Amino acid sequence: MEDKNHKHVQNGSCRDINIAVLGGKGVGKSAIIVRYLTGRFIGDYDPEMEAIFSTNIPIDGKHYTINIKDTTSYFSGHDLKEDPIFWADAFMLVFSLIDLASYQTVQELVETLRMARDDEGVPILAAANKSDLVHLWTMSSVECEAWCSGQQCLFAEISASEDPESIYKAFELLCKRVRAVHKKREKLSWTLQRPAVAAKLQIRQSLKNLAEKKLWRTRTSTM
Ligand SMILES: Nc1nc2c(ncn2[C@@H]2O[C@H](COP(=O)(O)OP(=O)(O)OP(=O)(O)O)[C@@H](O)[C@H]2O)c(=O)[nH]1
């Protein structure tokens, strides 16, 4: 996504990827974004600040503009404002490995976002931050990862203060997943614009439905 020195590359025609960074209070949302965009770790941020930051980067040879929304804290899925939910192409849900409540917030957020956007296949990455404070962890990173995989969420263990590489990799993973979703959508719309292909697919689907119906009838008649 970036060159070897993690310099963000500026270039001409770009597609946009909007990423909303959500999570509980003090989990490190601003620290992660600043680390990603500037390569630096800064100790304190204005907690009221809500802003969008942009950068141009290449992903697999194509140029993208990544817009990152730093949101103020959301303590539960019910407090979530609608704005970032429908603005984003992908979500980075941050929790702190030293704050169990922040993990529960992320679990609630996954449920809320799935309900709001699931049919669109919007990628979600759960970012377990503050991995450097290993002596203070209140949960097992392995268990968090297992939960995420059960929810079809991406997972990354990161540290904004000590491990910049982990932050770059997490954003890269998320952007690549967005690109895969875009590609799938483009392929679908290409297919739907070609009546002959669409008709072929429809016939194939009807035959499949028919076969399933027959199988179901056979099963129920032998019960
Ligand atoms: N040790 C350690 N501290 C971190 C890390 N990331 C953030 N912090 C610290 O955690 C505190 C909160 O970080 P912020 O980036 O302000 O967190 P936030 O989620 O944006 O906070 P709110 O906007 O108030 O919800 C700050 O004191 C950061 O220095 C990390 O990876 N390791």
Q: What is the pLDDT of residues 11-65, one digit of tens each?
A: 334 589 999 999 999 999 999 999 999 887 776 666 566 678 899 888 888 889 9
pLDDT band at 221 (very low <50, low <70, confident <90, very high): low
Task: Compute, in angstroms, the gap from residue 133 CA to the centroid of ligand 1.
Answer: 12
Q: What is the pLDDT of residues 195-212, one digit of tens each?
A: 787 788 888 888 888 888
The DSSP 8-state label assigned to residue 89 in this structure reads S
Average pLDDT of every residue of the chain: 83
pLDDT band at 5 (very low <50, low <70, confident <90, very high): very low
Is ligand 1 within 6 A of the CB of residue 98? Answer: no
Is ligand 1 within 6 A of the CB of residue 157? Answer: no
Task: Compute, in angstroms, the gap from residue 31 CA to the centroid of ligand 1.
Answer: 6
Q: What is the pLDDT of residues 80-99, one digit of tens each?
A: 555 778 889 999 999 999 99
Q: What is the pLDDT of residues 124-141, one digit of tens each?
A: 999 999 999 999 999 999
Phi, psi of 125, rounded to the nearest 5 degrees? -120, 125
Q: What is the pLDDT of residues 158-191, one digit of tens each?
A: 999 999 999 999 999 999 999 998 888 888 777 7
Q: In this structure, is the dihedral angle defined by the CA atoms of residues 207, 210, 214 and 216, taken in order, positive or negative?
A: positive
Which residues have CB under 8 Å from 9's CB, separation 6+? 2, 3, 56, 57, 58, 63
Atom 1 of ligand 1, nearest CA residue = 130
* pLDDT for the residue 163: 97
CA 118 to centroid of chain Cα atoms: 12
The span from the first CA to the last CA of the chain, in angstroms, equals 56
pTM assigned to the model = 0.79
CA 174 to centroid of chain Cα atoms: 5
Is ligand 1 within 6 A of the CB of residue 159? Answer: yes
H helix or E strand, kind and range, residue 93: strand 90-96
Is ligand 1 within 6 A of the CB of residue 151? Answer: no
Task: Compute, in angstroms, the gap from residue 28 CA to the centroid of ligand 1.
Answer: 3
Q: Which is the closest atom of ligand 1 to the Cα of 159?
A: 31
* ipTM field: 0.98
Which residues have CB under 8 Å from 127's CB, separation 6+? 23, 32, 92, 93, 94, 95, 156, 158, 170
Atom 28 of ligand 1, nearest CA residue = 43
Phi, psi of 196, rounded to the nearest 5 degrees? -65, -45
What 3-state DSSP class applies to 165? Answer: helix
Angle between helix axes 164-192 and 195-221 (nearest 10 degrees) is 100
Task: Compute, in angstroms, the gap from residue 184 CA to the centroid of ligand 1.
Answer: 36
Domain spans, the chain: 14-188, 193-221
Task: Compute, in angstroms, the gap from residue 29 CA to the centroid of ligand 1.
Answer: 7
The class (CATH top level) of 14-188 is alpha beta
Is ligand 1 within 6 A of the CB of residue 29? Answer: yes
Q: How far apart are alpha carbons 177 and 187 in whole angstroms?
A: 15
